[in-house]
Amino acid sequence: MKAIETIKTGKNFAAVNVGKMSEIIEHELPMGPDVVIRGKVFGGGAVGATGSEFSFQTLVPGQDSGFLHTHKTHEELYFILKGEGQYQVDGEIFPVKEGSIIRVSPDGKRALKNSGKEDLTMLCIQYKANAFTEADSPMTDGVILQEPLNW
């Protein structure tokens, strides 16, 4: 089983490595006494994230996510990084491929299937729905510092 590697941590940061995207399939996520999801890894805890969670998952050809699911409060963004497949939300099925991005609200009944001939790898970011306001715009929240870069 592959493990997340800690690169460096400090007062205001943490950096980890989950491995090459082609190695995501080597991770295993225990979901219960008799349930292990091969090819999935959560990373929010490893970096100490306080406002979101993220996971990588690889599905082999013909594999699906195994179940429909919803969330109580979390919205999700799915980024298809490699491969192609089908995404299902509330009974609607549509094609996805490398470069596709899907947003699903908490109540959306969702699942993903690899319908291609190669592995499908995705990144999922989940966060509390409706948490951002206009004041949270990257254009107003970011602060450009007048300090030199120290490469």
Query: What is the set of domains in the chain, with CATH numbers?
Result: 5-131 (2.60.120.10)
> pTM of the full predicted structure?
0.92
Assign 113 to helix, strand or coil.
strand
Per-residue pLDDT tens over the stretch 39-50:
999 999 999 999
| C-alpha distances out from residue 137 to 13, 53, 112, Å | 22, 20, 30
Phi, psi torsion values for 118, nearest 5 degrees: -125, 170
* DSSP state letter for 134: G
Per-residue pLDDT tens over the stretch 65-117:
989 999 999 999 999 999 999 999 999 999 999 999 999 999 999 999 999 99
Task: Give the separation between CA 65 and CA 73, rounded to whole angstroms.
Answer: 20
User: Is residue 82 within a helix (H) or strand (E), and if so which, with residue range?
Assistant: strand 74-82
